[in-house]
Copies of this chain bind each other. A is one copy, B any other.
Amino acid sequence: MSADPLSTTLSALADPTRRAILARLTLGEATVTELAEPFAMSLPAVSKHLKVLERAGLITRGREAQWRPCRLDAAPLKDVSGWLENYRRFWEASFDRLDLYLQEIQKGNPDERH
């Protein structure tokens, strides 16, 4: 795999379990066992997800051989956010259009206001 960094990050995030692991790590570092607890998942399955997150630079792991606690590294998320900013005006524009449309409907049919 020689994906560009942004593709690697987005691909790592495209999984609900991996996003849940990142959400757990916002509360502080955790071991694999601790991370596996809330999921109906084997330790090897969780370890596999952690490897994907680690390759994407979204987590770092401690050096202590037995525990190796995982820690969130949000730096790659900043790059995703930077890329998204190019599109902000488009989703804000479409929200404005929807808002205008709803206002038009309400003007046209005052009885349909709730």
Residues of A within 8 A of B (CB): 3-4, 6-8, 10-11, 13-16, 19, 22-23, 26, 72-75, 77-78, 80-81, 83-84, 86-88, 90-91, 94-95
Distance of A16 Cα from B88 Cα, bound (Å): 19
- 14 CB < 8 A contacts A-B: A3-B14, A6-B16, A7-B14, A10-B10, A10-B11, A11-B11, A26-B86, A26-B90, A72-B87, A74-B90, A75-B94, A78-B95, A80-B84, A81-B84
Distance of A53 Cα from B72 Cα, bound (Å): 29
Complex contact A73–B87 (CB within 8 A): no
With a cutoff of 8 Å between Cβ atoms, the chain B residues found around residue A4 in the complex are 16
Complex contact A7–B16 (CB within 8 A): yes
Distance of A23 Cα from B84 Cα, bound (Å): 11
Given contacts A84-B77, A84-B80, A87-B22, contact A14 B16 (CB under 8 A): no
